[in-house]
Structure 1
């Protein structure tokens, strides 16, 4: 083999490889390399054969210990190592991402050498870096757009609220001066109802557009559910039995965000069971799910029809005769700010099932 390794044919064969190739004997001494390896490592073939050069090359990487173990695996342990990717500081001052793999050269089932292959992965890494920068740029632009829309929405809501308060206030005063049955009283009542409904829209838009960073604290999920149910009953003027199943103990989360989310879900559940011959119960279940927390709200209402399910989280979408249609969008927004998601589906026994999955806490 040694005679063949010094032949012209062998060196011409090595030169034909586009990847860098370095061949060492069973003791780790380099006895052959190709021009591609010399160019990738920034050393002449003669220098690559010197042990001092090998130590210098190892020292130019970002992972000298891992590279040393990679090189020692076939020499000391007689096994093929897993491919290794490292950052290499070329003598010309530029960094290159190199991928190294090794193959054992066997004769009569004995190792007589090791072939190291070196591939330059710099262009691929640079491409991934450019793609990542582009995606981060897109995300930043989207975030800025969302923030801009939020500021715009708050500004519009503020501008509407001021004249709305004047309209509602003076309409109320005029209405008090007209006795019931007065033709003008009916018209004034319609104006006042419209002003109040518009005020509800402005309030919902303000809540939806206002964002803040979560502030996690240790909280009792059962207590959050009880408070959210009380708030939902007050808002809707409706009532239904609550079944609470919470065996998680204290959890770390943003309590106001989650309570607001739960209030929206429970208000929807109360409205879903209202007016039914047998309203049934509303169930809130908390479970720890690796790696986080799962919250389920189930009602025994008519359920969520398939034809409106795709639009359930669209702002201002509502099936009610009088409604704003911002409860579920706010609930989903809160779930996302808590690092989770919100999904709606049919319950196991009918009705609607809302599932909130929160990340690890």
Structure 2
């Protein structure tokens, strides 16, 4: 084989390949390389075969140890090496991207060398980098647009809030001096109700546009869920039986942000219960369940109401969309905005109880090191 390797036919055959090809003997020395390989690596055949330069050539790879293991796999361990992607500092000063694959050279069942194929993927890599930069640029522009709209919304809300306070305040004062049968009482009450509703819209828009400064810490999910449910019941004036399963230990997140999300989800669940207009049935139930996955915590808030229809599911997170006769329609959009602040995902579907189910997936990159608590499971009236 060595005699054949030095023949002109063999070298002409190697040079016919468009990919770089190098043949290394059992001692790890290069004894053949085609023109494509010398061009890709920036060294001629004699330099590649020089043992004194081998370490310097390997050192040009971004991961020399991985390249050394790639070469050692067949020579020391007798197995075909796994394909290797690497960056290479070419002597001309450019960084190139290569993909290496190796094949065992056998004679009489024994390995006498390795054939290494070098594929130049620099242009493909650069194309991906340009696409990535383009996507990042688009994403940055979208984020800037969102920030601009948020600031605009806050400014508009501030300008509307001031005259609203004047309208509502003076209307309330006028009403306090009116009897129930006074002909001015009804129109003044309508003005006051309209001012309160518009104030609720302004407050919701301000909350939606506001961005939180997060302070992640280890939190008790049972405590957060209980407080969120109580806040939702107080805000809506509705009540239901709460079943809570938070037996997963501590969760790393921003407690205030998670409480705000769960409050909105619980309020949505309470308002979806049968006869929820102040007369929730005795069987009304809201469940909050925490469960761990490999790298996240999933929180499901479900109710046993009639469940959302397809139209509601399609538009549930759109600002101002509501199925209630009187409502702002900003609860779920605010919950999703806060979920985005946490880097979480929020979705809405149907639950096993027959009603709606909101699913929040919180990333937990450090959950393997999370401190475990005594399991907390409760059923609250």
Instruction: Indicate the TM-score class for this superposition, using the shorter chain for normalisation.
Output: over 0.9
8 A Cα contact 2:238 2:280, kept in partner: no
Deviations, residues 268-287 of structure 1 (Å, cap 9, x unaligned): 22222223554422222223
Tell me, which stretches of 5 or more residues in structure 2 are unaligned? 368-381
Q: Tell me if the contact between 1:279 and 1:301 (Cα under 8 Å) persists in the aligned partners.
A: no
Q: After superposition, where does 1:92-241 map in structure 2 within 5 Å?
A: 92-241=92-241
Q: 1: distance between equivalents of 2:30 and 2:242? A: 77
Secondary structure of residue in 2 paired with 1:61? coil
Shift in CA distance, 26/282, structure 1 to aligned 2, threshold 3 Å: closer
Between 195-204 and 276-285, the greater mean CA deviation after superposition? 276-285
Q: Which moved more, 1:131-140 or 1:48-57?
A: 48-57
Report the secondary structure of 1:181's partner residue: coil
Alpha-carbon deviation of 1:214?
Answer: 1.9
Give structure 1 stretches of 5+ with no counterpart: none
For 2:310, the equivalent position in structure 1 comes to 306
3-state DSSP class of the match of 2:21? strand
State the partner residue of 1:295: 299
TM-aligned CA distance change 1:39 to 1:313, over 3 Å: same
Q: Which residue of 1 aligns with 2:325?
A: 321
Counterpart CA distance in 1 for 2:356 and 2:335 is 15
Aligned mates of 2:217, 2:77 — CA distance in 1: 52
Closer/same/farther in 2, CA of residues 63 and 245 from structure 1, 3 Å limit: closer
CA apart distance, 1:125: 1.5
Residue 279 to residue 4, structure 1, CA distance change in 2 (3 Å): same
Residues 240 and 277 (structure 1 numbering): CA distance in 2 closer, same or farther, change over 3 Å?
closer
Closer, same or farther: CA 241–68 of 1 in aligned 2, 3 Å? closer
String of CA shifts for 1:69-115, please: whole Å, max 9, x gaps.
22233223332211222222111111111222222222222233322
1:324 is displaced (CA, Å) by 0.2
CA shift, 1:160, in A, is 0.5
Moved more, 320-329 or 173-182: 173-182
Q: Please report the TM-score for the alignment, with normalisation by the length of structure 2.
A: 0.89
Q: 2:338 aligns with which of 334, 346, 360?
A: 334
CA deviation after TM superposition for structure 1 residue 53, in Å? 2.6
User: What is the rounded CA distance, in whole Å, between the counterparts of 1:136 and 1:223 in structure 2?
Assistant: 39
Structure 2 CA distance, aligned partners of 1:266 and 1:84?
Answer: 51
Q: Structure 1 residues 289, 46: CA separation in 2 closer, same or farther (over 3 Å shift)?
A: closer
CA deviations on 1:301-321 (whole Å, 9 max, x unpaired) are 221112321011111001111
Aligned equivalents of 1:111 and 1:249: distance in 2? 55
Partner of 1:4: 4
Cα deviation for residue 328 of structure 1 reads 0.9
Worse-matched range after superposition: 172-181 or 184-193: 172-181
Shift of 1:359: 1.2
Give per-residue Cα distances to partners, 1:218-254, cap 9 Å, x unaligned. 3222222222222222211222222222212332221
